[in-house]
């Protein structure tokens, strides 16, 4: 990949030096492949993981099943969007979707704006739901979040590419890894449309607790997993007829 990306032998030598020094391959290349899309990944921005393709595909499937009137554009929100990879896949899969994405980290917001400009995605900087326009309340058909979920004590066990080259705010989910996810789940019902779905990625070990949080929030819970990608997604659907 480095050979095909380099313009000159000097360029290639510089790229090899950066990779050998420990930079993630995607940061050296400046992009990652995600669900067949080329996503720009700037230095210091979380590299979209292969396992998260499962989250994106589950969200696309759920969106296709949602009964959105032909005259309406499906509203999709990607919280903790990082590079915007998940939102980009959803926008590509759902013709004409109205995409909103949020991240706390200015570098991620800049990168996501670049990746989502072509599909007209709006990217906001701020904490979870706080920067979203109030007009989206009760209208979100798909709310997807790959929030940080590594327990603080497990960060030291992450590969150096993550520990040293991705920001801590992209990884650290607090003592049990669920601090941010619990806030995402608790806030979801006010934003979801009736029958709308929340989808969050967790580890296999965290799924039961996330599932309980989804139930406490008044959503109908379900867990989906992929052995092939070692991926777990907890899904909560807002029952129709609730306010
Ligand atoms: C695990 S990364 C996932 C990025 C992207 N969704 C993906 O799958 O490639 C988590 C992202 O959440 C962002 N983040 C962490 N806490 C946040 C918060 N309270 N509000 C908004 N974004 C947050 C981080 O800056 C980081 O970009």
Q: Which residues pair with 145 in a beta bridge?
A: 79, 200
Spans of the chain below 50 pLDDT: none
Pick the residue whose CA is nearest to atom 14 on ligand 1.
80
DSSP conformation letters of 53-71:
HHHHHHHHHHHHHS---TT
Q: What is the pLDDT of residues 111-145, one digit of tens each?
A: 999 999 999 999 999 999 999 999 999 999 999 99
Pick the residue whose CA is nearest to atom 7 on ligand 1.
48
State the pLDDT at residue 73. Answer: 84
Give CA–CA dist 80/108, Å, rounded.
Answer: 9
Q: Please give all residues whose beta carbon lies within 6 A of any atom in ligand 1, as ranges.
A: 46, 48, 52, 80-83, 85-86, 102-105, 108, 127-128, 146-148, 169-170, 180
pTM of the model: 0.96
Q: What is the pLDDT of residues 140-153, one digit of tens each?
A: 999 999 999 999 99
Q: Which residues pair with 111 in a beta bridge?
A: none
State the pLDDT at residue 67. Answer: 66
């Amino acid at each position: 990949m480095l050979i095909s990306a380099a313009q000159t032998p000097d360029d290639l030598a510089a790229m090899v030096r950066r990779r050998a020094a420990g930079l993630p391959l995607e940061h050296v290349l400046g992009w990652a492949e995600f669900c067949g899309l080329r996503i720009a990944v700037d230095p210091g921005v979380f590299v979209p993981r292969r396992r998260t393709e499962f989250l994106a595909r589950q969200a696309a499937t759920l969106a296709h099943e949602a009964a959105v009137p032909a005259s309406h554009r499906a509203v999709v929100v990607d919280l903790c969007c990082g590079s915007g990879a998940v939102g980009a896949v959803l926008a590509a899969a759902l013709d004409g979707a109205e995409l909103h994405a949020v991240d706390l980290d200015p570098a991620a917001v800049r990168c996501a704006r670049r990746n989502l400009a072509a599909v007209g995605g709006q990217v906001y900087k701020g904490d979870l739901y706080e920067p979203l326009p109030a007009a989206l309340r009760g209208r979100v058909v798909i709310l997807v979040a790959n929030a940080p979920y590594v327990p603080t004590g497990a960060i030291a066990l992450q590969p150096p590419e993550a520990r040293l080259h991705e920001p801590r705010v992209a990884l650290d989910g607090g003592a049990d890894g669920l601090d941010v996810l619990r806030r995402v789940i608790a806030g979801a019902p006010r934003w979801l449309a009736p029958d709308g779905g929340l989808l969050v990625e967790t580890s296999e070990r965290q799924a039961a607790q996330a599932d309980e949080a989804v139930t406490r929030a008044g959503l109908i819970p379900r867990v989906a997993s992929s052995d092939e990608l070692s991926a777990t997604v907890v899904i909560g659907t807002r029952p129709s007829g609730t306010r």
